[in-house]
A and B are shown apart, each in its own frame.
Chain A
Amino acid sequence: MHMLLLRPSEPHGSRHEKRFRLAWTLIALLVLAISACVPAAPGAGGEGTGDSAAPVTLRVQTSIDLYAENANAGVLAMRAAHEKFLADNPHITIEFEILPAFDLYTQYLVAAEGANAPDITYQGAANTYTLARSGNILELNSYMENHPFLNPENLQSAILAVETVEGNYYGIPTTTDARLLYFRKDLFAEAGLDPEQPPTTREELIEYAQTLTKDTNGDGTIDQWGYGFMADNTLHTPHMWLTHVWAGGGDLVDAEGRAIYDSEAGIAAAQFYYDLVNTYAVSPVEVIATDYDASVRALVAGQYAMAVLGSWSWPVDILGALSEDQIGWARIPPPQGGQDATFSGGWSWMISKQSEHPDEAWAYIEALNGEEVALELGKLNIPTRQSILTHPDIQNTFVAEAGVYAAAAAHGNPQVIATQALFDGIRQALQDIIQGNADPAEAIQKAAADFNAQYAGQ
């Protein structure tokens, strides 16, 4: 290390110092040269756009690997549609960028920031509003209106509301979902409850949960909780809690983007969470550190007799481990006098505003979302299209029944830019409430007030 710190032995202003300056000048010029080589905006000096036969490359950013080894029937249908599209359009090349689902949003924004956005992106429906308001995605009105299948009228109302921003449509949703109450029929029977009669009100849910909460092995600690719910640091926490707010007649934000969840319904929902853990002791305080996958495992293992989880878990995670004799699903029980409510999310295909080939991009999205593909996807999770929901192949299946529930009771993501801030405030308040560190009403009111002070109206 000392050798590296030794200065040159020649005096100041010498030949060596001149070479020293020359070398650093060369380095600085090299940096500038590298900066100048940064790629320009996509399409600059590239393919022509007027002639449809000219070669076109579409960059598609998605979490779906069409050629994954364990592809389900929906992905296989998409793969077939993809290959047919390539065969029908030999001048179009598709380049995939496969990313983890949770990374898609950030990666797309950063790429767009660098004028390097892909032509097509697959995004959570929750991000539609922010992407649209920030001018990063193309409105699809001219493509969707009057389309025989992908028209807005054929979409379920909750998902249509999410994909519509200021009267314009921005995404083609593949599937949607709902939050459901799952209940262990076998544990119901053991506790003397009717396994075919899940609770229908919040009050009944508490009553059932008290019966189902027990120390099964006599060691003095509860190992079967009557009810499990999400309260960790992920978005599942506010999504699940909001179902109880809506069920009580409340809402998350108003038309001006102000938080209004500190209403009577919101405070009641917060009090409900407090009571589950602290008053009735039917849920463990550990819910604040139990992620979604752990919650599913807890339900499957019988640590939770009931739990509110996503519809996407039913076909594989739940029925892969339990039979329909052991577990059932139901609507999330509203409070007495309340209304059915659930949260719906989903994923959508969108076209970048930076795309030089929007028509070709739309043609590809159209191919990937044809009726056959939508039908296969709709067998796995709730279909977004009314015509698929009523298809004979879907009737009397889980997705049809859950889809009917979602169509009637679903609410989607709020249309505010500062969604993360909104949900962070709710999450933190709920965790403080569950741990008994805050009064439910005060915590919820403070969270809403803090959000409104900084973000309201954005």
Chain B
Amino acid sequence: MSLSSASQKNAQPARLEPRLRRAVTYSPWDYVWVAPAAAFVLFFTFYAAVFAVRISFYNYSLASPVRPFVGFSNYIQLWHDPDYWHAMGLSFLFAAVDVPLTIFIGFVLALMLDQPLPGRSIFRSVLLLPWVISMVIAGYMLKWIFADSTGILNYFLTEIGLDRVRWLSTGWAAFSTVVIAHGWKVYPFGMVILLAGLQGVPRDLYEAAEMDGANAFQRLLTITIPYLMPQFLILFILRTLIAFNMVDIIFAMTEGGPGNATEFVSYFMYQRAFGYLDLGYATAIAVTILLVNIVLSLVYLRVLRNRTG
């Protein structure tokens, strides 16, 4: 069996055996068991989302009992707000850097952990540690590490003869620091997902490919990556959603500073809601973030599903 035909055969979508399909029947009680969870989701997400969209058409301030209907005024204001576009641009830039970077790191680590290396289980546990720390704790901890004057990172840099870096007081450095901090915190998620996917790849495909003369890189490109496309799709969508909705690490590390160098659109929205108390404007921002997330998810679905055939 050649490499290409082997990978194509195993890349076909799964079909349910007839006997198994007959075993999957539906009972009304199934929906009753799901009902509480569905009600929770409906109320706290669907209803909340509908309410949020509604108040985006009002001048809705927590500081004023008068809340007139203003139509699209909040959206028009948003269109003309340079701070909003700056924040949205930062979020796009962050997503463009953070998402592929964290998925790539997770993929490399997953490949390493998939090998029969000595001490693999210990490495796996250690590599998962950043994931178990809360994002806020991680943010405060990394803020201390990256602190310009008193941070341990600058201490080590000066000890080896390098200049101190203004990690948190320079715009581009603060942005990079947030990317590094966030990447360090979330890479285990991708690593775990991809490692699980790797363990589902049939080993005989690799053997067949090796017999056909494929080297490690070719096996990676033609077997491993195509097989992991569903996992990559999930990761790209989830990581992008998280990148556009991230507030916690910004709040802990930089509070959007210096200036507005790390004021991502989600933090910008948070400030407008709970700093400026302008819920109407903040929910208009939220609606635009939702639309961006939907569009990007659809793009991923189309691009990556095409690649999986």
Task: List A residues at the B interface (Cβ < 8 Å).
Answer: 1-3, 6, 8-9, 16, 19-20, 22-24, 26-27, 30-31, 34-35, 106, 109-110, 113, 130, 133-135, 219, 221, 232-234, 284-290, 294, 297-298, 301, 303, 417-418, 420-421, 424, 428, 431-432, 435
Contact = CB atoms under 8 A, between A and B. Distances in A.
Contacts of A286: 148-149, 166, 168-169
Given A134-B62, A134-B65, A431 B39 contact: no
Counting chain B residues whose Cβ lies within 8 A of the other chain, the interface size class is 35 or more
Nearest to A420: B275
A3 B16 contact: yes
Contact of A290 (B31, B38, B148): B148
Given A134-B62, A285-B169, A23 B149 contact: no
Contact of B13 (A2, A8, A31): A2
A26 B31 contact: yes
A420 B272 CA distance: 9
Contact of B24 (A6, A109, A135): A6
A34 B37 CA distance: 12
A109 B276 CA distance: 12
Contact of A27 (B39, B158, B166, B276): B39
Contacts of B169: 285-290, 435
Given A130-B277, A233-B258, A290-B148, A22 B28 contact: yes
Contacts of A130: 63, 277
Contacts, number: 127
B26 A30 contact: no
Interface of B: 13-14, 16, 21, 24, 26-28, 30-32, 35-36, 38-39, 42-43, 47, 61-65, 147-150, 158, 164, 166, 168-169, 174, 230, 254-260, 271, 274-277
B31 A418 contact: no
B39 A234 contact: no
Contact of B31 (A20, A219, A285, A420): A20
B16 A233 contact: no
A267 B43 CA distance: 52
A109 B28 contact: no
B64 A435 contact: no
A233 B35 contact: no
B149 A133 contact: no
Nearest to A133: B63
A109 B32 CA distance: 37
A31 B255 CA distance: 38
Q: Which of B13, B169, B255 has the most CB of A within 10 A?
A: B169
A168 to B, nearest CB: 16
Given A135-B65, A289-B254, A23 B39 contact: no
B79 to A, nearest CB: 15
Contacts of A303: 149-150
Q: Which of A1, A301, A303, A418 has the most CB of B within 10 A?
A: A418
26 contacts: A6-B16, A20-B28, A23-B28, A23-B35, A30-B35, A31-B47, A34-B43, A133-B63, A134-B63, A135-B65, A219-B158, A232-B255, A232-B258, A284-B149, A287-B169, A288-B258, A289-B258, A290-B148, A290-B169, A294-B150, A301-B150, A303-B150, A417-B64, A431-B258, A432-B259, A435-B169
Contacts of A418: 276
Contacts of A20: 26, 28, 31
Given A3-B24, A109-B277, A30 B39 contact: yes
Contacts of B274: 106
A106 B24 CA distance: 49
A297 B16 CA distance: 65
A431 B255 contact: no
A109 B62 contact: yes
B271 A113 contact: no
A134 B66 CA distance: 9
Q: List 6 tightest A-B contacts by C-beta distance, closest first.
A: A23-B31, A289-B168, A233-B257, A289-B169, A233-B255, A286-B148
B27 to A, nearest CB: 8
Contact of B164 (A23, A133, A221, A294): A221
B93 to A, nearest CB: 19
A288 B257 contact: yes
A111 to B, nearest CB: 11
Nearest to A221: B164
Contact of B271 (A30, A219, A420): A420
A8 B47 CA distance: 28
Contacts of A221: 158, 164
B64 A134 contact: yes
B170 to A, nearest CB: 8
A110 B24 CA distance: 46
A3 B21 CA distance: 8
A217 to B, nearest CB: 10
A16 B168 contact: no
A286 B165 CA distance: 10
Contacts of A424: 271, 275
Nearest to B168: A289
A277 to B, nearest CB: 11
Contacts of B35: 23, 26-27, 30
A35 B43 contact: yes
Nearest to A219: B158
A148 to B, nearest CB: 34
Contacts of A233: 254-258
Contacts of B255: 232-234
Contacts of B38: 27
